[in-house]
Amino acid sequence: MGKTTVTAIVNQKGGTAKTVTSENLGIGLAQEGKRVLLVDCDPQASLTISLGHPQPDDLPVTLTEMMTKTLKDETFEPTEGILKHPEGVDLMPANLLLSGMEVSLVNIMSRESVLKEYLSHVKPGYDHVLLDCQPSLGMLTVNALAAADNLIIPVQAQYLSAKGLEQLIMTVQRVRRNINPKLQFDGILLTMVDSRTNNAKEISDLIRSTYGNRIRVFDTVIPHSVRAAEISAQGVSIYKHDPHGKVAEAYKNLTKEVLAHERERRERYLETAR
């Protein structure tokens, strides 16, 4: 079991707080002393924009260029194209060119493992790599699942979100069978939970009872908050934007939970290795 943990943050449904989770979990891990790389795997570039690059199409080097170099077996420095964020994380940005990359991957041999191959050059410098996936189950998301050790699935406490989980789980099982047998679920994360409504509570209970025996559901829930929606325009995390708010508190708790899961996994691994 290597030193670096690669986590894909994935849901084929849009609007489940994948990017907010990638950003704030990443910065939360950095605050705990971890070296963290965030990789924007979405041509919409929401993560890149959220981390203070409002014009991603003007960036000279993005994930597209690095995956292209990987495909062509060109040499590159592991730090090439990686941007520093003042809150202690690094970012491999994305822009619209990535959608062209997705199309061209379809005709390439071992097309599922291009991202994994790229990350193999980069990840020795980090404790955690977080992959912010696009809201679809296309080739870029499959690349992320092939590269990941585990995945976090943010799910809105709404009926349709809960329904879409089944399709995602089937895709993950297919990837496990054919490409990446080591892939594990870190957990389902309930997001945008409005604790004042019965509906949110019912859906939360439904997800816990339906999936909880197969997949861990995080104890932490991310509350619904207007303040959290504002941060993408600010280029800072929720810890800077609203440090004493309930969302910052929730992401701190999530960070602790993720680290606790990781310790458990390592201990289990060491047990079986004996």
DSSP summary character for residue 232: G
Model confidence over 153-180: pLDDT tens digits? Answer: 999 877 666 677 888 999 999 999 999 9
DSSP summary character for residue 159: H
Model confidence over 9-66: pLDDT tens digits? Answer: 999 988 889 999 999 999 999 999 999 999 999 999 999 999 999 999 999 999 999 9
One-letter amino acid of 116: K
Q: Across the strands, what pairs with 40?
A: 132
Q: How far apart are CA 259 and CA 256, in angstroms?
A: 5
Domain of residue 259: give its range.
5-273
C-alpha pair distances (Å), 189 with each of 7, 65, 135, 156, 192: 13, 32, 16, 8, 10
What's the predicted TM-score (pTM) here? Answer: 0.94
Which tokens sit at 273? 């290795």
How many folded domains does the chain comprise? 1
Q: Could you tell me the CATH number of the domain that includes residue 60?
A: 3.40.50.300
Please identify which residue in the block is written with the tokens 């980090």: 126
Determine the pLDDT at residue 236. Answer: 86
